[in-house]
Amino acid sequence: MKKISLLVSLLMAFVLLVSSCGTNSNETTSEDSEAKNPEIEEVEIEDVKDKNAGTEDAETENVDAEDAETESDNTIEAYTGSDKPVITGTTTFVADIVKVLAEDFVNIDMIIPAGDDPHLYEPKPQDLQKITDADLVIYHGLHFEGKMVDVLENYGYALAKDFPADRVGAMDQDGDLIIDPHFWFDLELYQLAVNNTAEYLSQLLPEAADTIAKNAEEYNEQLVVMFEESKEKLDSIPEDSRYLITPHDAFNYFSRSFDIPVMAPQGISTDSEVANKDIQNTVDFIVEKEIKAVFAETTTDPARMEKLKEAAAAQGFDVKVVSGEGQELFSDSLAPEGQPGDNFIDMFTHNVDLIVKNLK
C-alpha cells in the first residue's frame, strides 16, 4: 500500500512537472539574468581566484540541509527476479559508474540522453515509466537535474549522498548561495559518488557485492592515476597562460583541483540568459591577460564563444575559439556511446589534453 501511495504521488508530481515545462523555463528578462549572475567588479586574477575559492570555502552552516544530499532510512531491497535488474540513471555519468561497477549483472536505462543539457532538460511522459519500472533509480543530486528534483528525491538515490559540506561548491550570486553540482571534477567527491553507487548496487545485488566492491576499489585507483597524470600535464602550461574561459561555470571544481583560474560569462546553470555586463567583463579579462584560447562545450551553443571573440577583436585582440567536432570540452555530459569521451576517464583525459594543447 505504501508503494502504491508513493507511485500515485509520483505520478501527480510528474504530471504537474511535465505540464509546466516549456512555459516558464526560458522566460528570462535581461534584468533577471543580471540578478542571477555573479557580479565581477574587477577582472584581476585575484578576483578570479577568489571566485573559484568560493567553491572550496563555502561555510558549512550556509549549505542548506536540502542541498547536502542525504538519504532516508529506507534500505534497498535485494533483487529476487529471474531477469537482470534494471537500473535507471538520470545521466551519462550515472550510467557510466553503474556500468563499471555492475558489469553485466544489470541492464541500464538512462533518462537524459548523451549530449543533452541536464540544466535545461524537460522531462517527458516516458521518463516516468523509466523511473517506475526500475529496480533502482540513481541520480546526481545537488539540484543537477533541476526540473526533476522533487520526483527523484522521492524515488531515487543520489550520487551526492553525504558529501562533506565543506567540499561542496557554492557561489554567491546576488546574495543567494547557489550550490555547484559539477562535482565530478573533484577527485575526492567523485570517488565518494563511486562508493555510494557501490553501496546501492550491493544492497540490490548482495550476491555480487564482492565483485562490485572489487570493481569500485580498482576504479578508484584508476581515477587517482588519471588525476595525477592530469595535474602533471596541466602544470606544463606557463602561469601567464593558465586561464580557462568556458561558456558557463561548470569548471570551478576543476579550478580548485588543478589550480587553474576559470571564468565564464554565465553562471552555474545554463537555464538563464547571459547578462551583457558579464560578457563584457569576460572580454575585458581576455584582452587584459592576452588569453590565447577560449573553449566551447559539447552541451552549449558555440556561438556564445564566437561573440567573445568578436568583442575581443573590436578591442584589437585576437583570441581563438576552440570548437567543432572533437574539439569541445565535456562539462555536463559524456559523449554518446561508441564515440570518444563516452566514459569518464576518456572524457576527463580529452578535456585536459585539449586545454593543454591550446593554452601551452
pLDDT at 304: 82
pLDDT for 34 beyond 50: no
Q: In terms of residue numbers, what domain contains 224?
A: 59-228
Residues 153 and 188 in one domain: yes
Query: Tell me: the pLDDT tens digits for 226-244?
Result: 999 999 999 999 999 999 9
Residues 220 and 342 in one domain: no
Residue 123 falls inside a structural domain: yes
Query: Tell me: the pLDDT tens digits for 70-95?
Result: 554 578 999 999 999 999 999 999 99
CA-to-CA dists, residue 303 to 151, 309, 323, angstroms:
34, 10, 10
Residues 218 and 240 in one domain: no
343: confidence class by pLDDT, cuts 50, 70, 90: very high
Least confident among 106-115, 142-151, 202-211: 142-151
- β-pairing, 170-173 vs 176-179, is antiparallel
d(Cα 39, Cα 22) in Å, to the nearest integer? 28
Give me the residues paired with residue 263 across strands: 245
Phi, psi values for residue 138, rounded to 5°: -125, 135
pLDDT at 3: 46
Residues 151 and 252 in one domain: no
pLDDT at 185: 97
pLDDT at 277: 83
Least confident among 35-44, 156-165, 166-175, 179-188: 35-44
Residues 350 and 257 in one domain: yes
State the CATH number of the domain containing residue 285.
3.40.50.1980
Helix axes 276-289, 303-314, angle to 10 degrees: 60
170: confidence class by pLDDT, cuts 50, 70, 90: confident
pLDDT for 300 beyond 60: yes
66: confidence class by pLDDT, cuts 50, 70, 90: very low
Residues 206 and 87 in one domain: yes
The residue that leads in pLDDT, 29 or 81, is: 81
Residues of the chain above pLDDT 70, percent: 76
d(Cα 190, Cα 313) in Å, to the nearest integer? 39
pLDDT for 7 beyond 80: no
Least confident among 7-16, 190-199, 203-212, 312-321: 7-16
d(Cα 231, Cα 234) in Å, to the nearest integer? 5
**Which residue stretches of the chain are H helix?**
2-20, 30-36, 45-56, 92-102, 125-133, 149-155, 187-204, 209-234, 252-258, 276-289, 303-314, 344-359
Residue 44 falls inside a structural domain: no
pLDDT at 176: 76
Residues 166 and 217 in one domain: yes
Least confident among 165-174, 261-270, 271-280: 271-280
pLDDT at 276: 80
Residue 11 falls inside a structural domain: no
Give the end of a domain, one of 172, 202, 228: 228
Residues 244 and 351 in one domain: yes
Residues 247 and 354 in one domain: yes
173: confidence class by pLDDT, cuts 50, 70, 90: low
Residues 247 and 221 in one domain: no
Least confident among 34-38, 276-280, 320-324: 34-38
pTM, two decimal places = 0.81
Residues 160-169 have a mean pLDDT of 94
pLDDT at 270: 56
pLDDT at 10: 52
Residues of the chain above pLDDT 90, percent: 62
Residue 110 falls inside a structural domain: yes
| Average pLDDT over all residues of the chain | 83
pLDDT at 25: 39
Residue 240 DSSP code: G
The residue that leads in pLDDT, 276 or 273, is: 276
Query: Tell me: the pLDDT tens digits for 100-136?
Result: 999 999 999 999 999 998 888 899 999 999 999 999 9
